[in-house]
């Protein structure tokens, strides 16, 4: 038995809400994945704030219709399609997917859409190579800490150098 019209409208509304909160949506071909494997993918994506939804291409077409930000996704809708929506942790989500794909070798990344721009497979994968927010925070903290250490060493060195100079002058005077 097929879905009712009310059920389809509910799915489209859910997709629109998910799209409104997403920073990036990438599209994969999930053909050949078992339910357990899809659950595993969803579990891997969850810590990065990303979600995986499977919907009919027609329903996604209705959801993106009239939304300029997501319109480029139309070209990616064919065959068995799963949609991965990311929040702010784009890099972490792409890394999680790439790890899953490496293990299963059953999915194929078709591309994605970010800020109204269509992204190729290589562009989406390049986003995964960017550092995560936590990694950037760690790099910034390390840089600030190194700077503070250099200042502290410099400030400490001034009196030490002055003391060595006075000692040298006093030894010379004797």
- Number of domain units in the chain: 2
Distance CA 158, CA 148 (A): 16
Print pLDDT tens along the chain (174 aa): 467 888 888 988 888 888 888 888 889 888 888 899 999 989 998 998 889 898 888 888 888 888 888 888 888 888 888 899 988 888 888 888 888 988 888 888 888 888 888 888 888 888 877 777 777 788 888 888 877 777 777 777 777 777 777 877 777 776
Q: Say yes or no: 120 and 174 in one domain.
A: no
Identify the CA nearest to 12 among candidates 50, 49, 67: 67
The answer to whether the predicted template modeling score (pTM) of the entire model surpasses 0.75 is no
What CATH number corresponds to the domain at position 99?
A: 3.30.70.1730
Say whether both 85 and 20 belong to one domain.
yes
In this structure, are 36 and 118 located in the same domain?
yes
* Beta pairing partners, 111: 27
Distance CA 125, CA 106 (A): 17
Are 64 and 148 contained in the same domain? no
78 and 162 in one domain?
no
36 and 52 share a domain?
yes
Query: 91 and 158, same structural domain?
Result: no
Containing structural domain, residue 157: 131-174
The reply to whether 148 and 100 lie within a common domain is no
Same domain, 97 and 169: no
């Amino acid at each position: 038995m097929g879905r009712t019209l009310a059920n389809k409208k509910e799915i489209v509304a859910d997709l629109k809400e998910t799209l409104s909160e997403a920073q990036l949506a990438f599209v994969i071909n999930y053909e050949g994945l078992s339910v357990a494997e899809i659950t595993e993918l969803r579990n891997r994506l969850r810590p990065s704030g990303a979600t995986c939804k499977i919907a009919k291409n027609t329903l996604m077409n209705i959801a993106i219709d009239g939304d300029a930000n997501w319109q480029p996704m139309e070209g990616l809708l064919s065959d068995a399609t799963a949609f991965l929506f990311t929040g702010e942790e784009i890099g972490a989500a792409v890394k999680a997917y790439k790890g899953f794909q490496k293990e299963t070798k059953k999915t194929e990344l078709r591309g994605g859409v970010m800020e109204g721009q269509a992204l190729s497979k290589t562009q989406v994968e390049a986003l995964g190579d960017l550092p995560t927010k936590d990694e950037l925070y760690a790099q910034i903290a390390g840089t600030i800490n190194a700077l503070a250490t250099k200042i502290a060493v410099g400030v400490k060195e001034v009196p030490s150098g002055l003391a060595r100079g006075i000692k040298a002058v006093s030894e010379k005077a004797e």
